[in-house]
Chain A
Amino acid sequence: MKELLEGSRAIAEVVKLCKPGVISAYPITPQTHIVEELAQMVADGKLKASFVNVESEHSAASVVLGGEAAGVRSYTATSSQGLLYMAEVIFNIAGLRLPVVLACANRAVSAPINIWNDQQDSLSLRDSGWIQLVAENIQEAVDFHLIAYRLGEDKDIMLPVMVCLDGFILTHGIETVDIPSQESVDKFLPPYQPLYKLDPNNPVTLGPLVDPESYTETRYAIEQTLKDALKLIPNITVDFSKAFGRHYNGLVEEYRLDDAERAIVAMGSVCGTVKDVVDILRSKGKKVGLLKITSFRPFPAQQVYEALKDIPKVGVLDRALSLGSFAPLTCEVKAVFANKKKRPQAINSFIVGLGGRDITLDSIKEVFRLLSLKERPAEYIDLKPELLRERYE
């Protein structure tokens, strides 16, 4: 049913339809509305789940780890400092192959403290073994939760999935959202059947000490499984489109890339703005397009190669940094084309929208204008040089 909903509320509704048995979270802006709504649903008896109140995000992550290890579908949501406080447990959840689903309301990381949107938090945990799906709009954020549980709990995958959605822009924005019926969700998402679980009647130890004889194999297994996930995601999205009528590629989305001479690569809500600019420039006869990355982990290298190989000028938008080197998404795209014969003449990096700085139509037009045939150092769009003159002597 289509409803006008705040993003967080819409996500709470879809999580309820997924019937998690354990929910644990700690409030943090801009994620709080999601779990606030879920707590209300549990209190009102609309969702039969154990909502565990905890004293920190480290504990919240540990509770969902425990819930999932006991064989129960579990859910948590967090943001920024909260996600980083979870970091140790985040690696453990992936290492133990527990298909937790976590919504990350993307927010800048301190210091200086900033509650607004960029993608530094989830990107800082890209190496944790989690699948990371990045939503462009509220409908995608809702739908990716359904895909996340189906994908993570697949017997050949068994990995946690992080649904990344831009803080405030998607969590607090209001859109018309299609919330599916319980019946259709039940058909698409069968009850969770763990391969192994903690059960007093059949005791096992999960995640015991693994010595140098076998540690490498546990990590190799995750790496290979993420490659399998690249193949499985498009199959799941086909099932998704049959069940709910909305089609996603699940890995990347090509927007007006055919015959494009200039293309932007981006992730998340900024893609909506880029699409608008592409439409404006196309209407003036400019050959421009967008490649949206939906799955950041696993990274769809082959699809990125196919989409960009014939486009001479490519710009990558990063809403996060890897201080001291190339920005995260730029790094991935450059790596795809290392030593390739067919490739863009230049892949340039643009840093936009850090700590919630607005990315306007003009910001994106500026990026398209700056795309050149020569590779240059990363450009910070809308940088204010006058603020860099502070002296502390």
Chain B
Amino acid sequence: MFGPLVVKPGSSKNNKTGSWRTGVKPQFLQKNCIACKMCLQICPEGCITGQEKNTFICDYNYCKGCGLCVFICPKQDIKMVKE
């Protein structure tokens, strides 16, 4: 019998590491967004996507809840909420 020990390259997308999240997560309000993309660029997990104003979201399957997107947003359009 074997457990999970071997991974093929490029498979990090398959590992849903969002289970490590700290207990809080960012909520994207999508009201005052100016599409500056600061949140997208600062996200250490690269799990924030979006193009137009008020379209930005993150993928909670990977988000660790670090809060950097909330910190960097110039419009306070992202807030941390409890899980």
Contact = CB atoms under 8 A, between A and B. Distances in A.
Interface string B13-55: 0010101100000000000000000000000000000000000
Among A158, A212, A213, A219: residue with most chain B CB under 10 A:
A213
Contact of A196 (B1, B3, B4, B6): B6
B9 A205 contact: yes
B1 A221 contact: yes
A228 B6 contact: no
Interface in A194-238: 196, 203-208, 210-214, 217-222, 224-225, 228
B82 interface: no
Contacts of A196: 6
Question: Chain B, interface size: which category?
Answer: 10 to 19
B14 to A, nearest CB: 12
Interface in A174-211: 196, 203-208, 210-211
Contacts of A218: 3-5
Contacts of B9: 203-205
A221 B20 contact: no
Interface residues of A, number: 25
Nearest to B11: A205
Interface in A121-154: none
A214 B20 contact: no
Given A211-B17, A211-B20, A217 B3 contact: yes
A228 to B, nearest CB: 7
Contact of A205 (B2, B7, B17): B7
A217 B4 contact: yes
A208 B1 CA distance: 18
Nearest to A205: B7
Contacts of B15: 211
B2 A97 contact: yes
A151 B40 CA distance: 52
A30 B45 CA distance: 52
Nearest to A206: B6
Contacts of B6: 196, 204-206
A218 B9 CA distance: 20
A228 B8 contact: no
30 contacts: A97-B2, A158-B2, A203-B9, A204-B6, A204-B8, A205-B6, A205-B7, A205-B8, A205-B9, A206-B5, A206-B6, A207-B5, A208-B7, A210-B4, A211-B15, A211-B20, A212-B19, A214-B3, A214-B4, A217-B4, A218-B3, A218-B5, A219-B3, A220-B1, A221-B2, A222-B3, A224-B1, A225-B1, A225-B2, A228-B1
Given A97-B5, A203-B9, 6 more contacts: A158-B2, A203-B8, A205-B6, A205-B7, A205-B9, A220-B3
- Please provide the 8 A-B residue pairs with the shortest distance between their CB atoms, ordered closest to farther: A218-B3, A221-B3, A217-B3, A221-B1, A224-B1, A205-B7, A214-B4, A196-B6
Interface of B: 1-9, 15, 17, 19-20
Interface of A: 95-97, 158, 196, 203-208, 210-214, 217-222, 224-225, 228
